[in-house]
Amino acid sequence: MTLIRYQEVMQAISKAKKPTQVTLNEDANSFFRKYREYQREHYPQLEMRTKETSNGYWVDYKCRFPYQYAYLQHTLAKGKVEITFNGGREKATLLEAICDWFNRNGLTEISAPAIGKESVALRINVPKLEYQNGWENVSKQDLDKCFTTIEKVVDLARMLNDVHMFLSDEVNGE
């Protein structure tokens, strides 16, 4: 290994050991803490993963899938709730067919966009929640629409995981 390559590897290792540092935006964090408080008071069944010390630009929620396969996020300012399937890009056609079925059966706001180079998501648009507008200007109706959509996506993830487990058992002859 050349000296330059060795130094590059050592720098990469050193960088990987340092925890990522978040520059806290006080306004965004204050908005997020109020969002979190509302969620805990009105939707305690949702399991939020995002730490209170976050800016809360996007909020992670627990879903039934192991985190390395899929994760659920609410991106507040962009107004979207989505479950992203890591490495699922090769199955995008199947996910689009699932979305078509949902669209034909009344869930018309769902889509299956590609995310990055390798992933795909099930996305539902919700009202945008922008911290710059202040918490006091967010309507309860918009908040409830966001949180009921998150509930639906958590239920959808649970159902998809259960179907996967059922089919895996069938394939394995159990």
Is the residue at 101 inside a domain?
no
Is the residue at 42 inside a domain?
yes
Please report which helix (H) or strand (E) contains residue 115, including its range.
strand 114-115
10 band by pLDDT with thresholds 50, 70 and 90: low
Residues of the domain holding 59? 22-65+72-86+124-171
Average pLDDT in the chain: 86
- Please give the residue that has the higher pLDDT: either 149 or 167: 149
Is the residue at 27 inside a domain?
yes
Is the residue at 144 inside a domain?
yes
> In 26-109, where do the E strands start and end?
58-61, 70-75, 80-85
Is the residue at 104 inside a domain?
no
Dist CA 49 CA 79 (whole Å): 19
Residue 174 clears pLDDT 60, i.e. is over it: no
Residue 51 clears pLDDT 60, i.e. is over it: yes
Report, as an integer, the average pLDDT of 101-129: 89
Is the residue at 102 inside a domain?
no
Is the residue at 109 inside a domain?
no
Model pLDDT, residue 89: 81
Model pLDDT, residue 34: 97
Model pLDDT, residue 38: 97
Per the structure, how many domains does the chain have? Answer: 1
Residue 5 clears pLDDT 90, i.e. is over it: no
The percent of residues above 70 in pLDDT, for the chain, comes to 82
Residue 119 clears pLDDT 60, i.e. is over it: yes
